């Protein structure tokens, strides 16, 4: 063969081989890049280069590594896409944040999250169970998904993978030290109020990250630059400590129980699009702990059975020794209601184990619910809980008790029961009596943590005169439920014997625990339980001891906070009679024994608050609407107006006890020893508050509305006429209190001529004031008042009184003729 041809063939083969190698190299590079884009671990740092020998590692749900000032999560791949609950709480709070209505322990956000891998990143996705399809095979499932796209809270670069490739490592330092609104604790309103500019990164840092078997706890110290902070204004900043709890939710959600508004429970809401009805189902489920009997067969036979997993509360190691027994009693007082539901030893109180007994124990571990004793001057106690939004299952709760809260109860005990209860007439309340008060407060907060809201109708279940019966009060306490805001028996009078003055567990608590927690055998779906649940309600229907009254029902005199008894007029009459006795003796019980006026000043201020509450209970009768929650198959209406006679009696009571100056509240032996001035202003503010509340737009609107459904009603005109006659009853020389109150009346008339109704959350009280009868009624009242004042002015020779009437007439003229 020709050598040139042979050489050409050899060269061609070499070039072909070279081209083949090149193409394979390009293909391999392309495959590698493609693999990386799909989440390959190639090209990442070696594990030991990220998690170095300097790392401090905490084992738990995730491994948490601290390397110098950086924190890393080592997330097991088998936890990716699993539902977790991220709960944000304020761990430590600056003074007066939120106007004093926020406390350490306040929850600021709660959201379901999941960790998901996307290419070379780990995404923290926010999930929602408010809109679901219970049937995951339904065609509409895809529509729900694409119309509820899950937002990404944060995207993390993957730093490395574990040596066995079963976990992914990310750096969470920036995430937990940045100003992320979902975690910050300062909402837009607070930021606006305090003129927050930005997070000061130099004064913000991760305090600690701890990993436990079912949760991870992060503490962050945040400092924000703010022009108008709530306290320590010279610093120009707000500092607070946040706690982030990330909790692994149960693999198998608990079977939900369908909510019925006739029994009070905290709830979760879901919209189910897999319904066969003509619209999506709006499902509401109660929040409760998962209690399952150890022996289902014995339980079904009606025997008391222990739960598989009881509810256990541990006492904070910092709890004072002298208070521990009362806290434990308050927790375990709920054992009896749970026995009504078929469970024994369902809730247990324990001391926290010592480090020697259990070195791993921590109050922050989600496996442990704790009654935390907080060394704080805050006067409060709270019972928050964490629940699974998929089912309503309560997973954990911490009861928070603030040290100074007992002082509030001592003060209220003295003021509300001191007239009839000699043992309350002291600043040094008997330790056993204080302990009993603490026991009941702890039990009340545990009730919240068990799923129960306030039941404000429970104190309306008993007749007013029953509170003066020793045998009755010893057996029944002062309300049908511990979950009412009924703290003390302020009705009992001096000389009444064997009276119980402090609240206790009641029949409604047994009923509600049974309704919410009793296992219904063979009911495998929430819907299968409804017939039995409704039967239990109907068995108690009509008995006021088993009625639930919502705290939000501000229009309902049956469901009032801090009230007791089924007749607000009679109850407040007894209460004020007792307050007069207390006011007369207050110096003797305080300053005379301490040789100091501080306690007298504090208690006098709180006495005014107690008086205001008693008055407010009567005001609610006027324009009052009774709310009796019921189903259509029950007789009677859900909403009914308070009868005409009761409303008229209430206004007459206000004229006598409030608008006719209560001079006993301005006792010189008190006021002249605690302040150099301001007594007239104190009384003016108190009287004006109740007058404007009585003549409020929402109350007038309810009276106008009553005309449409009731032929014999107390009208808005009746209200104005009765109130005006009370306020302007005095003749001759007027004192400063009478003059102040009359000016308050006229000024409020000016507001009613121009004010507008604001739409509330439920919208029920909203109406168009301009096109209602309000302006015409006010105009008519002012015209009548002009004639009355002219006559009164002619009948007085007192100079200041005459000037006062001239001023009122001028004010009325300006209201009626604003353009003159």
DSSP-assigned states of every residue in 362-392: -TTSTT-EEEEEE--S---EE--EEE-TTT-
| Exposed/middle/buried for residue 226 (C-beta within 10 Å: 0-12, 13-18, 19+) | buried
To the nearest whole number, what is the mean pLDDT of the chain? 89
**Looking at the predicted structure, is the pLDDT value of residue 145 above 70?**
no
What φ, ψ does residue 478 adopt, rounded to 5°?
-125, 5
Tokens of 168: 């992914």
Answer yes or no: are the C-beta atoms of 450 and 394 closer than 8 Å. Answer: yes
Answer yes or no: are the C-beta atoms of 271 and 283 closer than 8 Å. Answer: yes
Instruction: Identify which of 353, 337, 335 has the alpha carbon closest to the alpha carbon of residue 345.
Output: 335
| Exposed/middle/buried for residue 121 (C-beta within 10 Å: 0-12, 13-18, 19+) | middle
Distance (Å, rounded) from C-alpha 455 to C-alpha 484? 5
Distance (Å, rounded) from C-alpha 424 to C-alpha 444? 22
Which of 399-408, 413-422, 607-616, 739-748 shows the lowest per-residue confidence on average (mean pLDDT)? 399-408
The per-residue pLDDT for 375 is: 67
Mean pLDDT of 257-272: 92
The per-residue pLDDT for 34 is: 36
Distance (Å, rounded) from C-alpha 446 to C-alpha 465? 30
The per-residue pLDDT for 146 is: 55
Parallel/antiparallel/unpaired status of strands 369-374 and 393-402 = parallel
Tokens of 298: 């014995």
The answer for residues whose C-beta is within 8 angstroms of residue 632's C-beta and 6 or more apart is none
The DSSP bridge partners found for residue 132 are 272
**Looking at the predicted structure, is the pLDDT value of residue 420 above 90?**
yes
Mean pLDDT of 756-764: 61
The per-residue pLDDT for 14 is: 44
pLDDT band for 17, please (50, 70, 90 cuts). very low
Between the alpha carbon of residue 364 and those of residues 369, 371, 659, the distances in Å are: 9, 12, 53
Tokens of 663: 């001079």
The per-residue pLDDT for 15 is: 42
Quick one: how many helices (H) and strands (E) in the chain?
Answer: 25, 24
Higher pLDDT: 725 or 278? It is: 725
The answer for residues whose C-beta is within 8 angstroms of residue 116's C-beta and 6 or more apart is 80, 81, 122, 123, 125
Q: For residue 657, give the DSSP letter.
A: I
Distance (Å, rounded) from C-alpha 102 to C-alpha 95? 9
| CB environment 697-720: b (16+ within 10 A), e (fewer) | bbbbbbbbbbeeeeeebbbbebbb
**Looking at the predicted structure, is the pLDDT value of residue 733 above 70?**
yes
CA 635, 640, 645, 646 torsion-angle sign: positive
The DSSP bridge partners found for residue 208 are 219
Distance (Å, rounded) from C-alpha 817 to C-alpha 819? 6
Distance (Å, rounded) from C-alpha 507 to C-alpha 202? 56
pLDDT band for 44, please (50, 70, 90 cuts). confident
Distance (Å, rounded) from C-alpha 177 to C-alpha 225? 15
Instruction: Identify which of 390, 129, 397, 394 has the alpha carbon closest to the alpha carbon of residue 287.
Output: 394
Q: For residue 502, give the DSSP letter.
A: B
| CB environment 359-372: b (16+ within 10 A), e (fewer) | eebebbbbebbbbb
Instruction: Identify which of 535, 538, 510 has the alpha carbon closest to the alpha carbon of residue 520.
Output: 535
Distance (Å, rounded) from C-alpha 561 to C-alpha 550? 10
Chain-centre distance for alpha carbon 12 = 84
Between the alpha carbon of residue 383 and those of residues 101, 188, 369, 376, 483, the distances in Å are: 15, 26, 11, 16, 12
Mean pLDDT of 619-639: 95
Distance (Å, rounded) from C-alpha 479 to C-alpha 503? 7
Distance (Å, rounded) from C-alpha 752 to C-alpha 777? 10
Tokens of 318: 């910092």
Cα-based angle 104, 109, 112 (whole degrees, multiple of 5): 135
The per-residue pLDDT for 423 is: 96
Mean pLDDT of 741-767: 82
The per-residue pLDDT for 136 is: 59
- State pTM to two decimals: 0.87
Answer yes or no: are the C-beta atoms of 475 and 301 closer than 8 Å. Answer: no
Mean pLDDT of 127-134: 66
Q: For residue 305, give the DSSP letter.
A: B
Answer yes or no: are the C-beta atoms of 268 and 287 closer than 8 Å. Answer: yes
Distance (Å, rounded) from C-alpha 53 to C-alpha 49? 9
**Looking at the predicted structure, is the pLDDT value of residue 31 above 80?**
no
What φ, ψ does residue 448 adopt, rounded to 5°?
-60, -45
The per-residue pLDDT for 143 is: 56
The per-residue pLDDT for 380 is: 74
Mean pLDDT of 316-332: 92
Q: Which residue's entry shows tokens 């081989």?
A: 17
Instruction: Identify which of 543, 690, 537 has the alpha carbon closest to the alpha carbon of residue 614.
Output: 690
Helix (H, G, I), strand (E, B) or coil at 708: coil
pLDDT band for 741, please (50, 70, 90 cuts). very high
Q: Tens digits of per-residue pLDDT, 82-121?
A: 999 998 988 888 888 877 667 666 788 888 999 999 999 9
pLDDT band for 5, please (50, 70, 90 cuts). very low
Instruction: Identify which of 291, 406, 268, 428 has the alpha carbon closest to the alpha carbon of residue 347.
Output: 291
Cα-based angle 123, 129, 135 (whole degrees, multiple of 5): 110
- The count of residues in the chain is 820
Q: Which residue's entry shows tokens 């603030």?
A: 402
Instruction: Identify which of 746, 743, 742 has the alpha carbon closest to the alpha carbon of residue 728.
Output: 742
Parallel/antiparallel/unpaired status of strands 237-248 and 267-272 = unpaired
Tokens of 706: 């009553």
The per-residue pLDDT for 461 is: 97
Answer yes or no: are the C-beta atoms of 79 and 91 closer than 8 Å. Answer: no
Which helix (H) or strand (E) is 239 found in, with range?
strand 237-248
**Looking at the predicted structure, is the pLDDT value of residue 322 above 60?**
yes
Q: Which residue's entry shows tokens 């079904």?
A: 300
The per-residue pLDDT for 41 is: 64
**Looking at the predicted structure, is the pLDDT value of residue 18 above 60?**
no
Higher pLDDT: 763 or 759? It is: 759
């Amino acid at each position: 063969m020709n050598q040139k041809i042979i050489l050409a063939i050899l060269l061609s083969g070499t070039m072909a081989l070279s081209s083949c190698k090149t193409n394979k190299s390009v293909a391999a590079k392309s495959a590698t890049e493609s693999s990386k884009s799909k989440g390959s671990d190639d090209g990442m740092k070696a594990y030991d280069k990220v998690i170095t020998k300097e790392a401090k590692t905490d084992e738990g749900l995730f491994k948490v590594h601290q390397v110098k000032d950086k924190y890393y999560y080592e997330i097991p791949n088998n936890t990716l896409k699993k539902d977790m609950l991220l709960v944000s709480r304020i761990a430590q709070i600056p003074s007066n944040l939120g106007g004093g209505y926020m406390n350490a322990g306040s929850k600021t956000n709660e959201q379901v999250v999941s960790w998901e891998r996307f290419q070379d990143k780990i995404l923290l996705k926010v999930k929602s169970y408010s809109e679901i399809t219970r049937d995951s095979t339904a065609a509409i499932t895809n529509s729900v998904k694409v119309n509820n796209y899950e937002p990404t809270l944060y995207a993390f670069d993957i730093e490395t993978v574990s040596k066995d490739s079963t976990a992914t490592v990310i750096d969470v330092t920036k995430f937990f030290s940045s100003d992320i609104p979902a975690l910050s604790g300062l909402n837009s309103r607070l930021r606006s109020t305090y003129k927050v500019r930005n997070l000061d990164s130099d004064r913000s840092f991760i305090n600690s990250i701890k990993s436990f078997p079912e949760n991870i706890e992060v503490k962050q110290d945040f400092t924000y630059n703010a022009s108008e902070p709530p306290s320590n204004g010279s610093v120009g900043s707000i500092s607070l400590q946040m706690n982030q709890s990330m909790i692994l939710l149960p693999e198998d959600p608990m079977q939900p129980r369908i909510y019925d508004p006739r029994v009070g429970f905290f709830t979760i809401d879901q919209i189910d699009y897999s319904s066969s009805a003509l619209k999506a189902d709006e499902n509401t489920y109660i929040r409760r702990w998962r209690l399952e009997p150890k022996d289902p067969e014995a339980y079904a036979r009606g025997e008391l059975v222990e739960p598989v997993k009881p509810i256990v509360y541990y006492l904070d190691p910092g709890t004072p020794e002298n208070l521990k027994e009362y806290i434990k009693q308050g927790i375990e007082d709920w054992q009896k209601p749970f026995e009504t539901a078929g469970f024994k030893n369902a809730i247990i109180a324990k001391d926290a184990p010592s480090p020697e007994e259990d070195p791993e124990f921590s109050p922050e571990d989600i496996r442990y619910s704790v009654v935390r004793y907080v060394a704080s001057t805050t006067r409060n106690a709270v019972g928050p809980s964490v629940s699974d939004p998929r089912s309503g299952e309560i997973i954990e709760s911490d009861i928070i008790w603030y040290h100074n809260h007992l002082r509030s109860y001592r003060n209220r005990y003295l003021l509300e029961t001191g007239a009839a209860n000699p043992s309350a007439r002291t600043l040094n309340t008997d330790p056993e009596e204080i302990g009993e008060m603490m026991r009941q407060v702890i039990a009340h907060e545990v009730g919240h943590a068990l799923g129960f809201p306030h039941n404000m109708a429970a104190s309306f279940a008993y007749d007013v005169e029953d509170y003066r019966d020793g045998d009755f009060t010893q057996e029944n306490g002062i309300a049908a439920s511990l979950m009412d805001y009924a703290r003390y028996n302020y009705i009992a009078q001096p000389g009444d014997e064997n009276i119980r003055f402090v609240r206790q567990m009641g029949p409604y608590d047994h009923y509600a625990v049974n309704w919410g927690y009793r296992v219904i055998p063979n009911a495998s779906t929430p819907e299968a339980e409804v017939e039995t649940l409704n039967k239990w309600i109907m068995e108690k229907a009509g008995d006021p001891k088993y009625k639930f009254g919502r705290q939000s029902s501000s229009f309902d005199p049956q469901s009032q906070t801090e009230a007791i008894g089924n007749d607000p007029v009679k109850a407040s009459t007894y209460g004020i009679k007792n307050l007069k006795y207390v006011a007369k003796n207050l110096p003797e019980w305080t300053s005379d024994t301490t040789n100091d006026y501080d306690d007298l000043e504090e208690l006098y201020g709180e006495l005014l608050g107690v008086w205001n509450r008693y008055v407010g209970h009567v005001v609610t009768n006027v324009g009052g609407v009774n709310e009796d929650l019921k189903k259509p198959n029950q007789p009677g209406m859900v909403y009914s107006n308070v009868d005409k006679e009761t409303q008229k009696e209430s206004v007459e009571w206000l004229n006598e006890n409030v608008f006719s100056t209560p001079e006993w509240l301005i006792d010189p032996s008190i006021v002249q020893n605690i302040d150099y001035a301001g007594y007239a202003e104190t009384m003016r503010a108190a009287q004006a508050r109740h007058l404007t509340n009585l003549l409020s737009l929402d109350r007038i609107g309810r009276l106008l509305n009553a005309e449409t459904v009731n032929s014999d009603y107390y009208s808005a005109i009746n209200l104005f006429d009765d109130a005006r006659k009370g306020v302007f009853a005095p003749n001759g020389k007027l004192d400063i209190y009478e003059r102040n109150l009359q000016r308050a009346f006229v000024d409020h008339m000016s507001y009613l001529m121009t004010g507008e109704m604001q739409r509330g959350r439920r919208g029920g009280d909203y109406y168009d004031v301009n096109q209602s009868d309000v302006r015409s009624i006010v105009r008519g009242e002012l015209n009548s008042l002009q004639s009355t004042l002219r006559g009164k002015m002619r009948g007085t020779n007192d100079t200041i009184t005459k000037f006062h009437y001239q001023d009122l007439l001028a004010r009325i003229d300006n209201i009626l003729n604003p353009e003159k």
